[in-house]
Amino acid sequence: MSAMLSVAGATGATWVACARTEAERRLAEKTDPLLVGPPLHQAPFAIRHVNTDPISYEQYYSVIANPLLWFVQHYLWPLTYEPVVDQRIHDAWRQGYVAVNQQMAAAVIGVAHNSPRPPLVLTQDYQLYLAPRMIRDALPHATLQQFIHIPWPTPQYWTVLPRTMRDAIIDGLLANDVVGFQTNRDVRNFLMSCDELLGLRVDHRGGAVLHRGRVVWVRAYPVSVDVGALTLLAAGSGVATEDARLASWKPEKLIVRVDRTDPTKNIIRGFLAYERMLTNHPELMRRVQFWAFLQPSRQDVPAYREYLQRVRSTAVRINSELQQPGWQPIRLELRENLKRAVAAYKAFDVLLVNPIYDGMNLVAKEGMLLNTMDGVLVLSENAGAYEQLGKFALRVNPFDVDATADALYCGLTMPAEERKAKGEEIKRQIQSEDILQWLRRQLEDIHDFAPSRGGRQLGS
Amino acid sequence: MSAMLSVAGATGATWVACARTEAERRLAEKTDPLLVGPPLHQAPFAIRHVNTDPISYEQYYSVIANPLLWFVQHYLWPLTYEPVVDQRIHDAWRQGYVAVNQQMAAAVIGVAHNSPRPPLVLTQDYQLYLAPRMIRDALPHATLQQFIHIPWPTPQYWTVLPRTMRDAIIDGLLANDVVGFQTNRDVRNFLMSCDELLGLRVDHRGGAVLHRGRVVWVRAYPVSVDVGALTLLAAGSGVATEDARLASWKPEKLIVRVDRTDPTKNIIRGFLAYERMLTNHPELMRRVQFWAFLQPSRQDVPAYREYLQRVRSTAVRINSELQQPGWQPIRLELRENLKRAVAAYKAFDVLLVNPIYDGMNLVAKEGMLLNTMDGVLVLSENAGAYEQLGKFALRVNPFDVDATADALYCGLTMPAEERKAKGEEIKRQIQSEDILQWLRRQLEDIHDFAPSRGGRQLGS
């Protein structure tokens, strides 16, 4: 979301989005798009809100996109019992996911018709898999590109969805000229899906698929953070207030995690690993604290409500078992506050990023960019960020709480020089590939590959 | 198991196996292997039982092999909460899985030393991933081959296991000269695992891996049934008794499933689909019955006990909601009785085989081979058998209960000619590739590929 704000600001494009608030719904009824003032150093851009039927939107968002697609793409379904694909899911697909994609496509087509330039449509993520095909049908010569922010699993796991759904998803994506993913593994899994599920002709080395007589290019563009904006924010007075607040309770050693309360984030095993570390190294009791700064997420989805409850009860159990007068092992804070998160980033000794699977994980990048303590990154081998940052992080298997306990301890006790060296390497990496670089690489590829922009063809 | 009995009988080999019963444990203490009389038309063979420490065996079998490996290889873990890889799992790996593999390897090495012929060791399945490396270390010039009966998932999902475990598993497998899997998808996933997890040089087209200076060949050999033995059994007097028993209650239309109560088998969604079909087509009530003939499985593993309970409670709920005087929709029978299963195979109108994921699924082959009613196969697209039989079965997505309901109805109402034609195609396919063919293809490849048998090298 914040990545896209930066991009819209940098390009002067029109951003088409579902209206979510009452104010946005009123704006959606106007003819002119909303002009948004420049965030920081960037250009103004327009937002076109789309009104959707509330029941359709609920089916689209809270049944199909989350959890159905999200859980498929992160291997999260407990397949023995769930999902049960029944009438409710089939209805939500047709009346929700297909319908909202149609409305969004119609709005994009409307904007494109009013545009003086040949249309270039950048579609974001898994909520809009079907829109590109609808846009392509209306605007055969448009240039279409889509970026998927979350992992793309193996074709074998896509069979958790009925054939009609998964085929429509892939067909929709292949209406683009270029499809972008976070990592090379996602690219490979997508190409395999085209091959195995749809029987398409695929060039695995060249990263291309032949479909309906068109060549579609598939590329990895690891997403990043807005280095300038974050650096300015961290130096601002709002964060200074949070720094002071943190200083009033900060322990000798601070472990931090900042996450939405999403099952992918693996918060419970993180607590269990920390508990294990404390029992392995009782000398750390009273000296260390684990600050879990969590944003409640998707609480309209039952699996997310249950997850948050279990996150909370695990923290409560560990605190009640290990706490001592004046010392609580885990500080669990549930709220959304970017400035407080930035204060946490600046202050950690160890940042725990141990997702089960994760498209990229920007907490790892934001945290390491802003940290001032030569803090250490403990990073899951299943985060997309691992491809770029893993070499200078402490690698953990997210399911292995014993190994994660060891990594936390290793991070807390690492010699100062080594911490500093590793942290600087990671910072350099993040600074060299910020969000505008991510956008630039995509625009360059669109220029190179899209036929309507004179792009090259397969084999050239 | 029955497949391997046929194989041992056909080759005159020595079968090395863990002792499971008291009688086997006594036999294991003797020096001479047990000579087993020929089953049906085959040659006698020897069994060498191995005594294992009961605690090691429990860790090996009920912690690591089932559920840890089994659930990984079938994508069954509810990853949000399980597995938690902790001290208990690490201990079970070292003291259970590694230890029992060592004992089995030692027994094989002992048999090989006493053999007049150059040793050829055929290792079966996921319980013995580590033994081939141990055998290779002791017998560098032996010919080793291993067949994996269950699916091999994507490398991404193998990361549910810590690196030490998954690396040891792949390294163990690569001590063989040839590694066999059920399907081409399993072969591809294994080759990708060698590439992605261990960084090995892989020839994806040729199906070969270079590891520790040796070439290892990877091939698909879809396992099958003993056509002759099954046909004789089905014609025998024991089955005739079961036929008569079935005739006493047989409804007008009979849907059958025969399965172990394993979560992979997808028994609950099968019941839900049947319930849906009855509510969609109430004219079928009283005329059709669903006979679920289930063998309780792995009841020492908690997840399996819970599964059986939920299978049972789903059947009870559906029966209590839909039953009518003199008619129960589901006949749930929990016992192991091969002759009764064969009677069920002979009599079904529709055979439901809807596993979540399944290496091959021999029920589909046994059932279609023996059926006498021109019965229809409803087959999951995620069963290994789908590659061979899918063209003549009714394909279902195992998660889609609505589509499964439609397939059951379609099977029950299919015109007689079409049922007959499809059934005969499937029978022909099974008869042309029986279990000895499966063995023969493996032995031919061993002859062609194993260097110690003058096999060819990469590129030749």
Q: Which residue has the higher pLDDT, B257 or A45?
A: B257
Do residues A208 and A458 touch, judged by C-beta distance below 8 A? yes
Residues 193-212 of B with CB under 8 A from A: 196
Q: Which of B66, B93, B156 to mutate to test binding with chain A, by most A CBs within 10 Å of its CB?
A: B156
Q: Which residues on B lie below 8 Å from A189 (Cβ)?
A: 154, 156
Q: Between A362-370 and A338-347, two packed helices, what is the crossing angle to 10 degrees?
A: 60
User: Rounded distance, CA A370 to CA A230, Å?
Assistant: 8
DSSP state of B296: -
Q: Which residues pair with B207 in a beta bridge?
A: none
Residue among B75, B159, B397 whose CB faces A397 most closely? B159
Residues 342-371 of A with CB under 8 A from B: 356-357
pLDDT value for B457: 46
Number of neighbours of residue A83 by Cβ within 10 angstroms? 19
Which of B400, B415, B411, B419 is closest to B276 using CA atoms?
B400
Q: Which of B68, B80, B261 to mutate to test binding with chain A, by most A CBs within 10 Å of its CB?
A: B80
Helices (H) and strands (E) counted in chain B, each on its own, are 20, 15
User: Rounded distance, CA B48 to CA B404, Å?
Assistant: 45
Asked whether this complex has an ipTM greater than 0.85, the answer is: yes
User: Rounded distance, CA B315 to CA B275, Å?
Assistant: 10
Is B54 an interface residue toward A (CB < 8 Å)? no
Do residues A42 and A98 touch, judged by C-beta distance below 8 A? no
User: Rounded distance, CA B42 to CA B9, Å?
Assistant: 5
What does the block give as tokens for B60? 């090996």
All residues at 6 or more sequence positions from B204 whose CB lies less than 8 Å from its CB, including other chains: B188, B191
For chain B, first and last CA: distance in Å?
Answer: 36
DSSP state of B85: B
Residues 55-94 of A with CB under 8 A from B: 74-81, 83-87, 90
Do residues A107 and A77 touch, judged by C-beta distance below 8 A? no
Q: HSE-up of A1 (CA within 13 Å, CB side)?
A: 1
Question: Which segments of A92-205 does DSSP mark as H helices, in order?
Answer: 99-113, 131-138, 155-158, 163-173, 184-198
Q: Which of B395, B400, B404 to mutate to test binding with chain A, by most A CBs within 10 Å of its CB?
A: B400
Q: What is the pLDDT of residues B258-299, one digit of tens each?
A: 999 999 999 999 999 999 999 999 999 999 999 999 999 999
| Pairing mode, strands B288-295 and B330-334 | parallel
Read off the pLDDT of each residue in B104-131 and give the average, rounded to a whole number: 93
Predicted structure pTM score: 0.94
Indicate the helix (H) or strand (E) that contains A214: strand A214-220
Could you identify the residue written with the tokens 């009609």? Answer: A164
Q: What is the pLDDT of residues A403-453, one digit of tens each?
A: 999 999 999 999 999 999 999 999 999 999 999 999 999 999 998 887 665
Query: Taking the mean position of all CA atoms in its chain, how far away is CA A450?
Result: 26
Q: Which residue of B has its CA nearest to A155?
A: B154
User: Rounded distance, CA A183 to CA A388, Å?
Assistant: 10
CB contact under 8 A, A163 and B196: no
What does the block give as tokens for A48? 């076109």
Confidence at A459, pLDDT banded by 50, 70, 90: very low
Q: Which residues pair with B327 in a beta bridge?
A: B324
What does the block give as tokens for B161? 């296991």
pLDDT value for A52: 92
All residues at 6 or more sequence positions from B132 whose CB lies less than 8 Å from its CB, including other chains: B105, B121, B123, B144, B146, B172, B173, B175, B176
Q: Which residues on A lie below 8 Å from B90 (Cβ)?
A: 402
Residue A163: pLDDT over 90: yes
Is A152 an interface residue toward B (CB < 8 Å)? no
Residue among A79, A163, A399 whose CB faces B160 most closely? A399
CB contact under 8 A, B78 and A78: yes
Amino acid identity for residue A401 in this structure? V
CB contact under 8 A, B162 and A400: yes
User: Rounded distance, CA B393 to CA B381, Å?
Assistant: 10
CB contact under 8 A, A157 and B75: yes
Q: What is the pLDDT of residues A335-373, one digit of tens each?
A: 999 999 999 999 999 999 999 999 999 999 999 999 999
Q: Which residues on A lie below 8 Å from B399 (Cβ)?
A: 79, 83-85, 159-162
Residue A293: pLDDT over 90: yes
pLDDT value for A457: 46
Q: HSE-up of A69 (CA within 13 Å, CB side)?
A: 25
Q: What is the pLDDT of residues B145-199, one digit of tens each?
A: 999 999 999 999 999 999 999 999 999 999 999 999 999 999 999 999 999 999 9
Q: What is the pLDDT of residues B402-450, one digit of tens each?
A: 999 999 999 999 999 999 999 999 999 999 999 999 999 999 999 888 7
Do residues A395 and A229 touch, judged by C-beta distance below 8 A? no
Do residues A374 and A436 touch, judged by C-beta distance below 8 A? no
Mean pLDDT, chain B, whole residue set: 93
Read off the pLDDT of each residue in A239-268 and give the average, rounded to a whole number: 98
**How far away is chain B from the Cα of A379, in angstroms, using its nearest Cα?**
14
